[in-house]
């Protein structure tokens, strides 16, 4: 009979105070990590997505650069010259570009493109299409990151489930070893039975060690997919299955959804538009360019030959390209070839998306059928194990029959775990192939 220790009131108060000073993590387990929370965290933490967002911002900045050609250019120039009368303007614009030398001056100059036959407008359209390209690339990478997180999450869950199976196998083999030891002590079984049982226990312990190592590896892969370290004390929550989530869409409906939703297809289409607009801009470089110039300023001394000279000047300049060394022609050819290449890549992506959707549906159907078969096999294996255990306890079978039945049960449980994981991974792949948010099922048979 055990005697419980009695504590004085002061001792009880000391124990309560000690408990209140313990860290919170020592009294409460860390909350389980959910799939939704990890996907959300990956969207914020993955460096690849940060790089994509930076590329979107860079593309938007290029739109502003292209639009600058539609706006006037304003600059201030000052000069101090010394030279012969009628010397060149020395690359100076506005009033300070006077041929009168030995003077100082300053001017405020305005330069505005008046007509370029769509050159600047097409360049702006091309830069806006590049923004769409970078945005769709970001969306495609977001989908890819979500797929990586889900795959790593389900693999980590599988490792945890397999550890539970191997722990259960280890407990069963320990029970058989205890039974064999009791039978040997009673003279009802040979020493060989006990040694075989102990070997089976050692093998089960090795399986447990390997399972724990697999958990560490899959958690590291999950942390890499999320983009940040994870709390090692936190477990993984089982994903929930909402009504209808396990229903697989028909092939025609799935293909239509994917062709409308996949960002890779929209990215290829936007890339085609980029080169089409650049080709139009290249065509415009072979046409005249009309520019207006205005300048307000002061020269000192005032030119002697015109005492009433104005303090401002305006002008129009027209530039007609005659021969550019085939620069405009080769630029146009380049963009036309690039546009054709982008159209072919769009067709290539379309075929790839069709194949991905078809394969994802087939893999999901196969995984669900595998669950049904694995669960039926597990039921038969458990029945055979119970019968073998009863026969061994009644001295009607050897320990080899029991251990063989345990191996079949453990293998069947592993197959059920893997089949359920395959369903979840296949659903995540179908979600990615469709390019549309879906909720993964729990992996139960339907």
pLDDT tens for residues 294-329? 888 776 765 554 556 667 777 777 888 888 888 888
Query: What are 129-153's pLDDT values in tens digits?
Result: 999 999 999 999 999 999 999 999 9
Query: What total of structural domains would you count in the chain?
Result: 1
| Residue 82 within a domain | no
The CA-atom distances, in angstroms, between 171 and each of 60, 165, 392, 405, 415 are 62, 10, 17, 14, 20
89 located within any domain: no
Inside any domain, residue 285 = yes
Query: pTM for this structure?
Result: 0.77
Residue 93 falls inside a structural domain: no
Which tokens sit at 394?
């009644």
Parent domain of 227: 39-74+107-434
- pLDDT of 414-431, one tens digit each? 899 999 899 989 999 999
Query: Is the peptide bond preceding residue 301 cis, with omega within 30 degrees of 0?
Result: yes
Is 34 a member of any domain?
no
Backbone angles phi, psi at 139, to 5 degrees: -65, -40
CA atoms of 349 and 354, how far apart (whole Å): 9
- Does 267 map to a domain? yes
352 within a domain of the structure (yes/no): yes
Q: What is the mean pLDDT of the chain?
A: 82
Whether the per-residue pLDDT at 11 is higher than 50: the answer is no
Say if 252 falls within a structural domain: yes
Which CATH number fits the domain that encloses residue 333? 1.20.1600.10
Q: What are phi and psi of 58, to 5 degrees?
A: -65, -40
């Amino acid at each position: 009979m055990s005697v419980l220790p009695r504590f004085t009131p002061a001792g009880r108060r000391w124990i309560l105070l000690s408990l209140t000073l313990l860290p919170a993590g020592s009294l409460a387990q860390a909350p389980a990590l959910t799939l939704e929370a990890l996907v959300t965290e990956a969207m914020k933490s993955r460096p690849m997505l940060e790089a994509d967002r930076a590329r979107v911002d860079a593309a938007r900045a290029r739109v502003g650069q292209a639009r600058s050609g539609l706006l006037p250019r304003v600059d201030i120039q000052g000069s101090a010259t010394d030279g012969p009368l009628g010397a060149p303007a020395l690359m100076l614009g506005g009033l300070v570009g006077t041929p009168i030398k030995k003077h100082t001056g300053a001017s405020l100059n305005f330069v505005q493109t008046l007509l370029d036959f769509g050159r600047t407008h097409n360049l702006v359209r091309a830069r806006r299409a590049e923004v769409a390209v970078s945005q769709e690339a970001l969306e495609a990478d977001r989908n890819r990151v979500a797929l990586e997180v889900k795959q790593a999450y389900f693999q980590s869950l599988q490792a945890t489930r397999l550890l539970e199976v191997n722990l259960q196998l280890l407990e069963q083999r320990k029970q058989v070893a205890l039974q064999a030891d009791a039978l040997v002590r009673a003279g009802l079984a040979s020493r060989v039975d006990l040694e075989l049982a102990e070997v089976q226990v050692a093998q089960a312990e090795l399986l447990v060690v390997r399972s724990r190592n697999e958990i560490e590896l899959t958690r590291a892969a999950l942390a890499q997919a999320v983009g940040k370290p994870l709390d090692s004390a936190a477990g993984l929550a089982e994903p929930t299955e909402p009504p209808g989530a396990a229903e697989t869409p028909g092939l025609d409906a799935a293909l239509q959804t994917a062709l409308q939703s996949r960002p890779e297809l929209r990215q290829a289409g936007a890339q085609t538009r980029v080169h089409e607009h650049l080709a139009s801009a290249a065509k415009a470089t072979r046409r005249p360019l009309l520019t207006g110039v205005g300048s307000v300023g002061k020269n000192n001394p005032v030119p002697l030959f015109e005492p009433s000279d104005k303090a401002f000047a305006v002008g129009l300049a027209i530039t007609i390209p005659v021969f550019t060394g085939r620069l405009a022609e080769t630029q146009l050819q380049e963009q036309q070839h690039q546009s054709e290449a982008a159209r072919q890549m769009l067709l290539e992506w379309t075929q790839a998306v069709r194949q991905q959707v078809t394969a994802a549906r087939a893999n999901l159907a196969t995984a669900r059928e595998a669950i049904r078969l694995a669960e039926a096999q597990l039921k038969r294996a458990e029945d055979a194990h119970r019968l073998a255990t009863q026969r061994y306890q009644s001295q009607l079978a050897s320990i080899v029959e029991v251990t063989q039945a345990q191996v079949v049960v453990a293998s069947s449980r592993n197959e059920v775990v893997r089949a359920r994981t395959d369903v979840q991974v296949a659903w995540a792949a179908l979600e990615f192939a469709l390019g549309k948010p879906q909720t993964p099922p729990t992996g139960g048979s339907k």
